[in-house]
Amino acid sequence: MTSNFIDYVKINVRSGHGGAGSSHFRREKHVPKGGPDGGDGGRGGHVILKGNSQHWTLLHLKYQKHIFADKGNAGEGGKRSGAQGADALIEVPLGTIARDAETGEILAEITQEGQEVILLKGGRGGLGNTHFKSATNQAPHHAQPGEEGGDMWVILELKVLADVGLVGFPNAGKSTLLSVVSAAKPEIADYAFTTLVPNLGVVSYRNFKSFIMADIPGIIEGASEGKGLGMRFLRHIERNSILLFLVPASAENIEDEYNILLNELKQYNPALLDKDRILAISKTDLITSDEDRERIISQIPKDLPYVMISSILQQGLVELKDLLWKTLQDAQVNELPSSPAPESDAE
């Protein structure tokens, strides 16, 4: 089955040529030798990226490999300028990055609804001959041609926008957690790689507050080298404010599993380690004795905030949301500039 979640496309975009300026002279019945009155050519159409929160993937662009803007119209006599070429508007989901396919340079980053960025400018319209009249040249026959538009291949790459990103091995319980704390309905089954696409859920919190949680497909040891689902999904974690690591209570060693996950993120992008991290021990309904619980707690890395949860029994979920919310608020405070914050930002 082909997934409809498309987070990477390569397209060819071309902005419009500018219209030519007009070389025209005023000719009327009583003005047999009127001066130049050629109008300017119209600008070629731009290629524009626009953020649209109604789009969740780049699927609508998968089979549209070539996107061209219209050319500008030529100028006319009577100093009439040509019409501008129609822009080519490319609507993309929030979190989309545009790169030059040849150099890898980031051209644009769309993170807000309605945000528009000119990806490729249209060619300027040529000047009509009215602009070239001078004391020594009263009848210029010269007018500028329109400027050519641009042409390039662009890579569009979607990185999911969320406050909390779930990180864990396949079958760690991430999809189940998301399904019980939000209205998201991810596919859930007891086998590896059930989640093949990122799922987003809005988690309701106290007093009508909320935050976004993303279930990123499970990574395996070696994912940063392209194994398993690999690099395709690791990039989605870059957008998350907090990383919530899920390690099941059934793991042989909690700390070892956590360190493997941490190392995969480090290999992919060391900057990910600067994000706030929380550990959730999932599937605690499998714990059968106090000794097992104490053994698990003893394996948790020191100074790492943790919560023990059971999504099936819905245990520990309130404590988890409290910890996530507090961490989100602390992260926002730390991102503020050093100057005093406005009073309206105070709790």
Under 8 Å CB-to-CB from 53, ≥6 apart: which residues? 93, 94, 113
Q: What is the pLDDT of residue 34?
A: 77
Assess whether 71 and 168 both reside in one domain.
no
Q: Encode 218-232: b = buried (16+ Cβ within 10 Å), e = exposed.
A: bbbeebbeeebbbee
> Domain ends where: 123, 140, 158?
158
pLDDT tens readout for residues 80-117: 999 999 999 999 988 899 999 999 999 998 989 999 99
Q: CA 310, 311, 312, 318 torsion: positive or negative?
A: positive
- The tokens describing 317, both together, are 């979920």
Q: Do the Cβ atoms of 35 and 26 come closer than 8 Å?
A: yes
* Nearest one of 125, 113, 4 to 49, comparing CA atoms: 113
Distance CA 156, CA 220 (A): 26
- How buried is residue 80: exposed, middle or buried, by Cβ count under 10 Å (0-12/13-18/19+)? middle
329-338 CB contacts, 8 Å cutoff, 24+ apart: 330/276, 331/241, 331/242, 331/276
Q: Do the Cβ atoms of 110 and 95 come closer than 8 Å?
A: yes
Instruction: Tell me the pairing of strands 164-167 and 47-51.
Output: unpaired
Does 151 reside within a domain?
A: yes
Assess whether 315 and 170 both reside in one domain.
yes
> Domain ends where: 119, 134, 158?
158
Assess whether 16 and 48 both reside in one domain.
yes
Assess whether 177 and 50 both reside in one domain.
no
Does 57 reside within a domain?
A: yes
> Domain ends where: 129, 158, 187?
158
Assess whether 195 and 240 both reside in one domain.
yes
Domain total in the chain:
2
Assess whether 184 and 129 both reside in one domain.
no
Assess whether 276 and 309 both reside in one domain.
yes
Q: What is the pLDDT of residue 337?
A: 47
Q: What is the pLDDT of residue 335?
A: 53
Does 30 reside within a domain?
A: no
**Strand ranges in 170-319 using DSSP code E only, listed in sequence order:** 199-205, 209-215, 242-248, 276-282, 306-308
Instruction: Tell me the pairing of strands 276-282 and 242-248.
Output: parallel
Assess whether 138 and 224 both reside in one domain.
no
List the CATH number of the domain containing 115. Answer: 2.70.210.12
Q: What is the pLDDT of residue 219?
A: 55
Q: What is the pLDDT of residue 233?
A: 54
Assess whether 267 and 336 both reside in one domain.
yes
Q: Is the pTM of this model over 0.85?
A: no
Q: What is the DSSP string of 314-334?
A: TBSHHHHHHHHHHHHHHHHHH
Q: Phi-psi region for residue 270, left (φ > 0), alpha (ψ -120 to 50) or beta?
A: alpha
H/E element, 264: helix 254-268
Assess whether 274 and 318 both reside in one domain.
yes
Q: What is the pLDDT of residue 228?
A: 41
H/E element, 262: helix 254-268
Q: What is the pLDDT of residue 38?
A: 93
Distance CA 341, CA 66 (A): 47
Q: Do the Cβ atoms of 32 and 72 come closer than 8 Å?
A: no
Q: Do the Cβ atoms of 82 and 72 come closer than 8 Å?
A: yes
Per-10-residue mean pLDDT of the chain, 347 residues long, equals 66 96 84 84 97 84 92 94 96 90 92 94 95 89 94 89 81 81 52 49 80 70 45 62 90 91 82 89 89 92 93 91 91 54 40
Q: What is the pLDDT of residue 239?
A: 67
- The tokens describing 108, both together, are 């644009």
List the CATH number of the domain containing 249. Answer: 3.40.50.300
Q: What is the pLDDT of residue 192?
A: 36
Q: What is the pLDDT of residue 217?
A: 65
Number of H helices, E strands in the chain: 5, 14
Assess whether 192 and 245 both reside in one domain.
yes
Segments forming the whole domain that contains residue 223 = 164-345
H/E element, 51: strand 47-51
Assess whether 172 and 40 both reside in one domain.
no
Q: What is the pLDDT of residue 230?
A: 41
Does 29 reside within a domain?
A: no
* Nearest one of 211, 205, 175, 206 to 190, comparing CA atoms: 175
Q: What is the pLDDT of residue 4?
A: 56
